Amino acid sequence: MNTVVQLRASRSEKPTVRGGRGKNADYRQREYLTEPEIDKLLAAAGDSRNPVRDRLLILMAFRHALRVSELVDLRWQQVHLDSATIDIRRAKNGTPSIHGLQGDELRLLRTLRRQHPHADFVFLSERKAPLSVDGAQKLIERLGEAALRSLSAIEVELCAKLSNGPGAQIRQTQQRFVGS
């Protein structure tokens, strides 16, 4: 017995399933921030309540192509101030690697370490607890509003991942060595 079932489009004025979120191109024209925009974010971070932490957060995200979840999970055990390197543990099946630190990052890291000598995590909230992903995203959004325009944390994260800046070069190099 062969039964054929034909489906028809709904004629209802209120469909039960929504179309969902549109494509990123519908919301913004590009998926990254430029270096001058990052500089404006860094300037805004310098005027915040915790300028050392905030400037370092922006610099690390941009230069090392870190996701927000990777930033807030960064521990002092991963930072090697004597050799100016940092062990990066990637989320979402990313390739772990060792990155070099530049002079301004080292100065900020040393200052942050002096402020919180017994902390396990690099980025702490004002209550000395590890900064949450939500807290970091809101912080980046506040800095973006102060510096540029209404900027979501997702745009800064995409900037770090997709820009033509140092972060993209790191990911491209990793992909070449891994071969996937």
Q: Is the pTM of this model over 0.75?
A: no
Flag whether pLDDT at 122 surpasses 70.
yes
What is the pLDDT, as a whole number, of residue 96?
A: 94
What is the pLDDT, as a whole number, of residue 14?
A: 67
What is the pLDDT, as a whole number, of residue 175?
A: 52
Q: Are 66 and 161 in contact (CB under 8 A)?
A: no
Q: Within a domain: residue 20?
A: no
Q: Within a domain: residue 90?
A: yes
Q: How many beta carbons lie within 10 A of that of residue 91, not counting itself? A: 11
What is the pLDDT, as a whole number, of residue 153?
A: 54
Q: Within a domain: residue 15?
A: no
Q: Within a domain: residue 103?
A: yes
Flag whether pLDDT at 180 surpasses 50.
no
CATH of the domain at 57: 1.10.443.10
Q: Within a domain: residue 24?
A: no
What is the pLDDT, as a whole number, of residue 37?
A: 83
Mean pLDDT for all residues in the chain: 83
Q: Within a domain: residue 48?
A: yes
